[in-house]
Structures are given as structure tokens and as C-alpha cells.
Structure 1
Amino acid sequence: MPVPSEVQRETKADAFVLEAKGIEKSFGATHVLRGANLRIRRGEIHALLGGNGAGKSTLIRIISGSHHHDGGSISIDGRLDPDANAIAVVFQELALLPHLSVAENIYLPHRKRALARLSEAECFEEARAALALVDEGLAERALDWPVASLDLHERQFVEIARALSSGARVLLLDEPTANLTFSETERLFGILRRLAQQGISTLLVSHRMGEIRALADVCTVLRDGRSVLDRAALSEISDEAIVEAMGQKGSALPPPAARNTTNAPARTQIALRGPGISLSVGSGEVLGLAGAPAGPSGVIETMIGARPSGAWHITIDGVDVTFANPADAVRAGIGYVSGDRAEKGILATLPILDNIVAAARVARRRIVASSSEAAVGQTALDTLSIKASSIDALPQTVSGGTQQKLLLARWLAPVPKILVLEEPTRGVDIGTKREIYAMIRDAAAAGCVVVWWSTEFTELIAVCDRVIAFDLGGQASGVLGRDELDEVSLSRATGMAA
């Protein structure tokens, strides 16, 4: 299939605002980027695509100045000595200070010295002007609010406003809609389109083809550190061609008929009781949780011991249980994979081996490493096809998708009674998603009860036996059985985008 043509622009005003040519980067003996190219026009929404480990995150960090490149060049508006404030990154894990006000968070880039005196009037003036570009209503009412009091999408808007206040002309957004509702996603898209009309460019990193096609004009695809598609017009290329360029043929999702129908022995029976909901789930079942974070998080925090006195109650094999802390839940046979692998999941300063055996050590109340752990770690790497130089390497040496597999590897042996998963496929590529779905089904087939929160309805439909739906206020709106599961029903029950 011929490579589609570049999106054509005629005027001088639409020249490239950002050009990265032949970027190379190695970490030790590992070559991450091997001549990657990226060109973004002024006022353009550009998708950066590629599988986990393709080099997207490294390229973003180089463009934003977090990493130095070994070869190639980067220019902004044609200058090889670019203004450091011209590029701003908004990562999945937002970098706001929750105890400071909205205005103070936005104004932070203007404080050049740590002990510089803060002008409150100047702070509010600058913050109001920047936030008004994103959300005028929020700028009018919330400048003096602590960031901790904002909803997730409002925090995202504050982060974008902070980037704009520093003079950014290119925004780099990493999976920006992962936890947004349908209306919040639409608001964000509207903001990005409006910013594009004002000449501000956006580089969008996402694994969701639907939102890429709804928002972006053009895409660049990385594979093994190289640009295999350079400025391909999305109107001229199919999803299948993009996936093939990424080196990942086929769909991530299994057919619905392949969902778990195991007859695993009923070793574990759990009952969940909460406001308006009471149901039992047995070994071999996959129970989905759908909706904005407020609802599913209440169930999850109760099950893993993070909220002992919440509105939800759990019974395991006929016994009411309350866990004082997460360690008690682990010792009772409950596994947990956090959706925030940076803050609550990956142990960044410890080797890959320690990350894999962390849960087993907690369950056995052990701190000292055992002689058998190396074999366990290597088996996990081989079983999950985890590409790492060794079990002694640090997690930061592997891609985000591989880190997600490391979190799941903690629960391979022994399989827990209950496995609680929080957005396990967030930000991972098609190939890794397929592997995670297989792991979930294998765990259920081994007799595990799987409780799985996801904001991607298609995967809940394909894998789950039942789904508890939560509305935008966090209240349970019903339980959908297998025959009722479809995107329309889930969208209506949750208020979120299908």
C-alpha cells in the first residue's frame, strides 16, 4: 500500500513550527531512537502513534528538553536554538501541586527563583488570562481554589493553561482522555480545536483510534525507533494500515464469543453490597466496573483495604471482611493492579525482579530475598514475553506497556483468590492489550474472581461476564448481564463516551 501523502498547506504562516530530524538516542547498549523524524505545522493537531517500546516517550522527552539526543536536530520556527518555553508536555500523571491554588499552579513557571517574592495581583492576572483561553468559566470562579478540590478534567485544563502561560506554541498530550467522561472529552477536544485556530499546535499520543480520527489531521508512526509513516494524512489511511505500520497486525479485542465461560471449581465466592446493589460473584467470573472514577474507586478501595469504612461491604466465602490496610488484603488473597503505575504501582528504584516478587514478599511477611526468586522472576519474563536486559535492570529501562506487564506478573503465581484490576490496559499498545486480555482469562480459568475497572467499553463487552455501571455522580445505576452488554447500554448507564 503506498504511503499516503502529507497534508498539504500552502501559506507561509503554516510552516513547520517544530521539526525533529534524524533523532537518535541510546541508553547504554539499547538503541531507542534510530533516526526518528517528526514535523508539526502551526495550528495542527498531530497524532504520534506506535507500539510500546517504539520510542514515543523518549522522543517526547527529547523534544521537551528532558533528555538530550545523541544525533539529529530539533528546530522550532526554523531555529536550532529553540525557546525552552515553546514546548509543554501534559503527561497522564498530572504535575500539579494539590495544596496550592489554581492561580499559583499556573503562575509557577514565571517564578525564576525559589525565594522570589510572589506578587498576588500579578499571579492572578497571568493565571486568569491563561485559563480563560481554555475555560472562561473556570477562570472566573476557581482561581483561588486549591487544585485538590477540582475534578480530573478541570485539573487537566489547569495544566494546559499553565503550559500556555509559559508561552508554549506546541502542546504534547499523553493519553489525555484516559479517565474523562464523554462530555469532558468533548470539552477537551473543543478546547484543542479552538487553540489550533489560534495557531497553537498539539501533538496527541493515544492508542484510541476513535479519538485520533475525531481530532487529528495527520499522524506519524514510530516503529523500533524509526518513523515508518511521516506525516500521513489520516483521511487517506485506514486503521488496518496504521496497525500494520506499527508492526501489530489484527485487532486487540478478542471476539465476544471468546469471553470466559470457564467451569472453574467454585473455590471462592464473594458478595458485594453497596448503595442500591447486592450481588454474588464466583470463581472463574470476570466482573466489570464501568463509569467515571468516583464509583468504581469506592468498590476497589474497599476490596483492597484502602478504605475500611466506605459505603461498600465485601463478604468472602460467607464471611464479612474488613481490611485495615492493603497488606491485610494481600495476605487474604486479594491482588491489585493500580491504574497509576507511576505513583502506586511500579517500584521505580528497585530492580525488575523486586517488582515481580513484591506481592509474594508481602504475603509471606518477608523482606530478605530468597534464592528461588531469581528463577521466579525469569519465568515471569519468559511467560509474558517481557523484553528486558535482565531481571536486575530498573523498570525505567523498559516501556510503559512492559511496566504494566510487570505489575500483572506479581500475580502469576500463586494466582490470588480475587484479582482487582484498575485500567490495566491504559496507555498500552494493541499487542500488549491482547496479552493482558489473555492473562485475565487465564486467571479466571484458574479459579480467580476478577474485578476489572475499565473506561473502554469495547473491552468490557468482550471479556466480562457482568458489569456494574456507575453514573457521573458515582452512584451505581445497575448491573448489566452478558446479554445486555453493548456500547449503547453502557454509555446510557454511565454517561460516558462509548
Structure 2
Amino acid sequence: MPEPLLRLADIGKSFLGVRVLADVDLDVRPGEVHAVVGENGAGKSTLMKIISGVYVPDGGTIELDGAAVSFRSPRDAQRAGIGIIHQEFNLLPERTVAENVFLGHEPVRRGLVDRKAMHERTAALLAAAGETSFDPGVLVGRLGVAQQQVVEIVKALALDARLLIMDEPTAALADHEVELLYALVRRLQERGIGLLYVSHRLTEVFDLSDRITVLKDGRRVTTLATADTTGDQLVKHMVGRELAGYFPPRAVPGDIGAVRLAVHNGANHKLRGVDVQLRAGEILGIGGLQGSGRSALARALFGADPFTAGTVELDGAPVQLRSPRAAIRAGIAYVTEDRKGEGIVAGQSVLDNALLAGRAVFPAWRGRGPRTVKVRELLAAVEVHAAGDDQEIRFLSGGNQQKVVLARWLALGPKILLFDEPTRGIDVGAKSAIHDLVRKLARDGAAVLMISSELPELLGMSDRIVVMRDGAVAGELPAGASEEDVVGLATGALTASEVTA
């Protein structure tokens, strides 16, 4: 067994007297994928920032190749061969791939940037990473998300990184792009590069990692060989308890009522001939690849990108949903997949975010009255953990931010809820709480449409599944459908008649 490339011992860190990390041990070997998991607030991000030189630990030691090191800045860590790939990319879209890769350490010839050498070196790095779909001279802003992630990785390799930290690397990737990332990770392993892989997606953790370290409340709970553990065991270590099944029980036939929302031959610039029915008391799952029309359907129903053809019926009566305001007045709520960009106002308080939709649409909500009391009660009911409702929402974990968004819509008493990736970037414990809440809403009579890229979630939560492909409905599946059927319809490998035969 090779000696560790990186070894941490007794790492501790506090902020304003609050202990964030305590006595954490961790090591990474050359060519190993070492996953780090834990609930939001477990200390994962702080630990990664210490390794990458953003924070200086209060105590403990860091060794690289057996020698003690001390990083006072990210530049120190980079010089030592440590790179970090953040969930949100740090790229300049109006610069070329080569310019991004060598930003700040451009090759120079006769006092000028040697663009030919920069281009050639970038091409060699891309080839080593197995990426040949774009040229070093293309502008980064013209690349897809998965290609931009390759650029981030190649940036680190250009600095001779021997250890790469990958923080939620698939959060923004479509399903088919995840496989490309898997291949790249394995190629990096073959080169002897050690990888620290931080992810909430346990499927990826088990697919890629050799070992798993679990953090909880700033302490290391355990380090396990991936081959010797199970998902249930890992979850128990993470949340400190067994989850009684990952998903709440599905609806039984008597729980599902009449058709609440129906779309007939709906179309716009992204959708064509869509026929969908959503019933009271059910969770209708929407599956498909990224760009298949899943989010376009939710946005059309919410009036953000309205249907330009076809008809929509609400409780059997035709309705025009030409704007989000019209949809909200009709009793429709929409939890967007882009929580940061569209779901919250980062600089505003928890309470102001929870009151946002009501204040925007209903004049009676403006000011501080009984509705403010109701919203505060809802924030407590969905168990938002914050220093107070006057705390800025940007300081909350992703799971708590999502609960604030849910409280915002619950306060309006919607009949129909549209959830687009409701648990993306959220830890296992918070996911379970949101799953329970979504199911309770359906049991109480709401009609729920839920989009998810995570097949276990889609299959575990849905009473029925509609699969989209190329802006149209590819087929419908009953509860208990297989992953193979969903993927087959989503990719076109199967037709609707083949999966229902």
C-alpha cells in the first residue's frame, strides 16, 4: 500500500469562538479517490478550504509526502501541487480555454506571452485528460457545463497538481455528462493523482471512491473502505440514526383524487404536443435528460415561459397562465431548480425571503401583520435552522434555504406545487425531511409535479412518471417502474409501447 500523499492530523478550526472542526484526521494516497461526506454544516467545506490554503487551521498538522507543510494562502497550496475544483466555476467566459488554463502563469518568450506555446501545452493537457471535443482557442463562454469543468481540471493540471479536491462536481451536470466526468476521474487516477471527492450523491460516492470519510458536527466519525460498506450504513454514520427507508410510502389509490391540472397539446418554443394530467393527492414525477423539456414544462405551467399553443385546464375549467402572477393567483407554486439565481434573494433575511411571493402578488401581504406571524410559524414547522428570521438567507445551508422557499409557498396555500430538482445539493438528512414534507402535501390534497435527475428519488417518490424527450412526452410509467425503463424512454432506446407491453 503506497504511503499517503497527504496526511492531516488533529485539524481544528473555530470562527468567532464557534468550533467548526475538531481533531480531524484524514489521508489521501496517490491514485486514490477518497470521498468526504456528511450533512450540511458537518465541516466538509471548511476542511477543504484548509487543505487548499484558504483557511489556516487553529491546530493540527498537515503533511505532504511525509513532510510537514503550512499553507498561508491558496497560492501556497497550488505551489505544493494541490488544486481545487469548486462547484461554481472560476472561469473567464470571454477568454479562450488556453488563456484560462494559464491565467497568471502564462509562458513567456522574449518578454511577451508565448501564445503558440500556451496553445500547444493546453492541447496536450486536454489530450491527457481525454478531451478532444473543443479547441484551446475557443472562448470558454461557448462551452457546455461539462466542458467548462474539464477546463477547471486542466487548469489545476497545468500547475502540476498531484492532489485534486472536487467539490460537488456533478451538481450542474446533465445525466449523460456525469459519465464523462467518471471517465476523467479514472484517467486522473491512472496518472497517480489523488482525489478528494465531496458529494451529497451517494451513488457517485459508491461508484468512484476507494475510501469514504464521514464528518459530523466538525468531527471525523469514521473512515471506511467503500467496498466494505453499504448505503444504509453510510447514512447512519452521517445522520446519527437509521432512516426508516429513504422515501415515505407512496399514495394508495384511494388517496388520489380528480384531475386538478391538465395540459392538452401544449407547445411553445421548447415544447411540442405535450399532454399531461396531474391529480389531487398524487406526486407526478417528470423524468428525462437535461434539455428534454422537463424544466420547460414547469416554467410553462408557472407562466414564466407560457404555452403558445394548446389548452390548460384547472379543475376542469380552461385557464390562461400568461405570467407567474397569474399562476400564483390560480394557486400554483413553483420551486425552481436554480435556488441561488431564481429561488432566493441572498442579501435579504430569512423572513423577507419567505414573504417574497405573497408581497409581490397580494397587496394585503405588505407590511407586518397576521401573515408575518403565519410565515414565522411555517418556518418553525418546516424546521428551518437559522440564528433568527432576520438572518440573511445566504448564510444558511442549502437544505435550510430550500425549506425557506417551501415555507414561502406553503403560506399561500397552493393547490398545485411544481418542484424542479427539490433536493439538489442537499444532504441526506435534509433530503429525507423534504421528501416527507412533499409527501405530506400530497396526502393533504395538493397536486405535486416533481422533476428530478436522481433516478432513485424519481422512482422512490413518484406515484406516476412522465418521461420527456426532445420537448415532448416520450411515455408514461406507473409507480414501481425500473431505472431501465426511464432511461430507455429518455434516450429513445425504448418506445412507449415497448415499456408498457
Please, what TM-score do these two structures have when normalized by structure 1?
A: 0.85
1:128 aligned partner, one-letter code? A
CA drift of 1:416 comes to 1.8
**Is the contact between residue 47 and residue 218 of structure 1 (CA under 8 Å) also seen in structure 2?**
yes
Q: Distance in 1 between matches of 2:153 and 2:363?
A: 44
Corresponding position of 2:476: 479
Out of 230, 234, 243, which is 2:235 matched to?
243
1:105 aligns with 2:97: no
1:45 and 1:203 in contact (8 A); partners too:
yes
| Aligned twin of 1:321 | 320
**Alpha carbon RMSD of aligned pairs, Å?**
3.1
Instruction: Quote the Cα distance in structure 2 between the aligned partners of 1:217 and 1:72.
Output: 25
Identify if the C-alpha distance between structure 1 residues 386 and 343 changes in structure 2 by more than 3 Å, giving closer, same or farther. same
After TM superposition, list the pairs within 5 Å mapping 1:330-479 onto structure 2.
330-365=328-363, 369-372=367-370, 375-471=373-469, 473=470, 475-479=472-476
Secondary structure of the residue aligned to 2:423 is coil
- The one-letter code matched in structure 1 to 2:318 is V
Q: Is 488-497 or 189-198 further displaced after alignment?
A: 488-497
How many residues end up aligned between the 2 structures?
A: 475
Alpha-carbon separation, structure 1, partners of 2:325 and 2:117: 47
2:51 is aligned to: 63
State the match for 1:204 in structure 2. 197
Please show how residues 66-215 of structure 1 align to structure 2 within 5 Å. 66-77=54-65, 78-82=67-71, 83-85=76-78, 86-110=81-105, 120-138=115-133, 141-178=134-171, 180=173, 183-215=176-208
Aligned to 1:289: 286
Q: Find the residue that maps to 1:411 and give its secondary structure.
A: helix
Shift of 1:475: 4.7
Per the TM alignment, residue 450 of structure 1 is displaced from its structure 2 partner at its CA by 1.6
Q: 1:198 Cα deviation (Å)?
A: 1.0
Once residues 476 and 98 of structure 1 are traced to their aligned partners in structure 2, the CA distance between those partners, rounded to angstroms, is: 34
Could you tell me whether the CA contact under 8 Å between 1:302 and 1:310 is conserved in 2? no
Give, in angstroms, the shift of residue 122 of structure 1: 4.3
1:271 and 1:277, CA in 2 relative to 1: closer, same or farther beyond 3 A? closer
Which protein, 1 or 2, shows the higher relative CO under an 8 Å CA cutoff with sep ≥ 6?
Answer: 1
1:54 aligns with 2:42: yes
Aligned equivalent of 2:497: none
User: Contact (CA 8 Å) 1:43, 1:198: kept in 2 or not?
Assistant: yes
Contact 1:133/1:161 (8 A) holds in 2: no
The percent identity for this pair of structures is: 36
Distance 1:490 1:341, change over 3 A: same
After superposition, the C-alpha distances for 1:92-118 in whole angstroms (9 at most, x for unaligned) are: 333334444333333335369xxx986
**How much has 1:210 moved relative to structure 2?**
2.9
Q: 1:266 to 1:476 in 2, by over 3 A?
A: closer
Paired residue secondary structure (2:214): strand
Measure, in 2, the Cα distance between the counterparts of 1:160 and 1:313.
47
CA distance in 2, matches of 1:214, 1:236: 13
Q: Aligned partners of 2:482, 2:440: CA distance in 1, in Å?
A: 24
Superposition TM-score, scaled by structure 2 size: 0.84
What's the CA shift for 1:332?
A: 4.0
For the residue of structure 2 that corresponds to 1:321, the secondary structure is: coil
Deviation track 1:38-73 (CA, whole Å, cap 9, x = no partner) reads: 211122100101122211122223322334433334
Contact 1:260–1:286, Cα closer than 8 Å, also in 2? no
CA distance in 1, matches of 2:199, 2:306: 35
Structure 2 runs not aligned, ≥5 long: 494-501
Give yes or no for contact 2:345–2:353 (8 Å, CA) kept in 1.
yes
Gap change, CA 1:267 and 1:194, over 3 Å in 2 = closer
**SS where residue 16 of structure 1 aligns?**
coil
CA shift at 1:371, angstroms?
A: 4.1
Distance 1:381 1:25 in 2: 30
Residue aligned with 2:102, SS: helix
Deviations 1:273-303 (A, max 9, x none): 2424312223323221112220212212322
